Structure 1
Amino acid sequence: MPRYISAAEVERVIASCDVTMPMGIRDRAVLLLLSRLGLRAGDISGMRLEDIDWNEGTLRVRGKGRREIRLPLPQDARDAVIDYLRHARPPAACDQIFLRTIAPFRPLVSTSVSSIVSLALARAGIDHAPSRGAHLLRHSAATSMLRAGATLDVIGTVLRHRSVDTTAHYAKVDIDMLAQIVQPWPGSASC
């Protein structure tokens, strides 16, 4: 079964960031990108300034196997990235977007992105999460899309899955939706 938290819990995780501090501004932008687009930790650590097309409102993501896709950048995530770039990103010569907040200002690595999620879960008081890393928000995004009525093809495109079988893994979690379409077992109804 996929490991996820509810949409309300995801919002609590995002709201746990202290946006009066540079680290909180950065972490909020990271959490919004992970939760809205189902990005992987490596997508965040490798994200470069030229990956965002501000005019089109899209984000270029390089997935596994060097495949590229352009995803629409949700307004709240876009605003959070702009806020980070304007007010919290330390000056550095590298073109990766997300940097450490303590010198030397190097790009975040994947484990740092997962640590951002883990710390935000703790701040939000979510102790029962089935996992504590960045992938938790990827699974939560897919589950939310499914519950909102997105097809497995759409979810697979956003998550950059090569096979619908991989995406079908997320259908297992929506018990309420499955209960609505289940048919009675033949012969189980009394006459």
Structure 2
Amino acid sequence: MTANRTAAIPDTVSAEDAELIARFLDQLWLEKDVSKHTLSAYGTDLRHFARFTQSRDISLLQVDAPLVNAYLAHRYDRQLAARSNARLLSSLRRFYRYYHQQGQLALNPLSEVLNPKAGHSLPKSLSETDVEALLQAPDITEAIQFRDKAMLELLYGCGLRVTELVNLRMTQLQLDPGVVRVLGKGRKERLVPMGEEAVHWIARYLREARPDLLGQDRDVVFPSSRQQQMTRQTFWHRIKHYAKVAGIDATLSPHTLRHAFATHLLNHGADLRIVQVLLGHSDLSTTQIYTHVAQARLQRLHQLHHPRA
């Protein structure tokens, strides 16, 4: 099977396989009332697979488990996403279950094929240089931009979620010990150290800019321009604005600075479990999306210090 992995894949599907796919999709539409999008996706997956089997001179009803695994290996060589492979297998499972139930297959070839783990996508982050540029972007001579500067410093300095940031109340800040009491998902509370820079800018903001922004809700830490609690969407637009000002071309998400917080901590030697606590993850498995960072750091240390590296 491996020797055939470089065989040319035809551009079209044989009439026999095209008829099998069309009959399956028609039956799926009649029985399951699935959406047009799902039918289109299944059809695309099955036609790609049929072209692959044709390159081995095998029709769809002659497929066995090793051939399915060979196709998955082919897709892996092309660096197709694990989630895409999972959807493909879902299409194949339904297709072959249908023809097995119709009595046209003695054995379902997908019964011996395991689902690959979809895994977690790598969170987007920023380099330390880009973060510094972003933090310097607001013009602190204006009260609104001074507020944004303090928010960015706190967001990066504590790894907060944007929702946690905009919901902050004055009673949650403790500048003297330098901690913020955060109410995370499920109203779970955690204490997060701010760091000297965040404490410095929050203290200055509270003293120099916040009084000009206050409205009736005097307990909100970061009021909006309308003197009320800001929405997470509003602050997300502010982040994108400052990224543009700073000349940052990277694609950002609302959690970009949170991911940068975790990544940069690990780069500087923090333990993964400490990062878990700071981020407010109830399960270490959630934090393990950052293990690539820790592993890369360990590899660099090994190459730097081991006598046989």
Q: Which residue of 1 aligns with 2:142?
A: 21
2:129 alignment counterpart: 8
Structure showing the higher helix proportion among its residues:
2
Q: Distance in 2 between matches of 1:91 and 1:111?
A: 20
Percent identical: 31
Structure 2 counterpart of 1:151, which letter? D
1:98 aligns with 2:98: no
Secondary structure at 1:70's aligned position in 2?
A: strand
Aligned length: 179
Alpha-carbon separation, structure 2, partners of 1:168 and 1:16: 32
Counterparts of 2:295 and 2:132, CA distance in 1: 22
- Map residues 61-140 of structure 1 onto 2, 5 A cutoff: 61-89=182-210, 90-94=213-217, 95-101=219-225, 104-127=226-249, 129-131=250-252, 133-140=253-260
Residues 175 and 203 of structure 2 are in contact (CA less than 8 Å); yes or no, is this contact kept in structure 1? no
- 1:43 counterpart residue number: 164
Q: Distance in 1 between matches of 2:228 and 2:244?
A: 25
- Alignment counterpart, residue 281 of structure 2, candidates 161, 165, 176: 161
Deviation digits for residues 61-83 of structure 1, max 9, x if unmatched?
00101110111121211121122
Q: Between the two structures, name the one with larger relative contact order (CA 8 Å, sep ≥ 6).
A: 1
Q: CA deviation at 1:179?
A: 3.3
Deviations 1:11-68 (A, max 9, x none): 1000111011112211111101111111011111110000012332211000101110
Structure 1, 26-35 or 71-80: larger mean CA deviation = 71-80
- Residues 156, 164 of structure 1: 8 Å contact kept: yes
Secondary structure (helix, strand or coil) at the match of 2:243 reads: helix
- Distance in 2 of aligned mates of 1:124 and 1:107: 26
Unpaired stretches in structure 2, ≥5 consecutive residues:
1-121, 303-309
Query: Offset of 1:181 from its aligned partner?
Result: 7.4
Post-superposition offset of 1:174:
5.5
Cα shift at 1:93: 2.4
What is the CA–CA distance in structure 2 between the aligned matches of 1:178 and 1:119, rounded to whole Å?
36
Structure 1, unaligned runs of 5 or more: 183-191
Residue among 146, 151, 162 paired with 1:30: 151
Q: TM-score of the superposition, structure 1-length normalised?
A: 0.87
Q: Is contact 2:266–2:293 with CA below 8 Å preserved after alignment? A: no
- Normalized against structure 2, the TM-score is what? 0.55
Aligned partner letter, 1:110: R
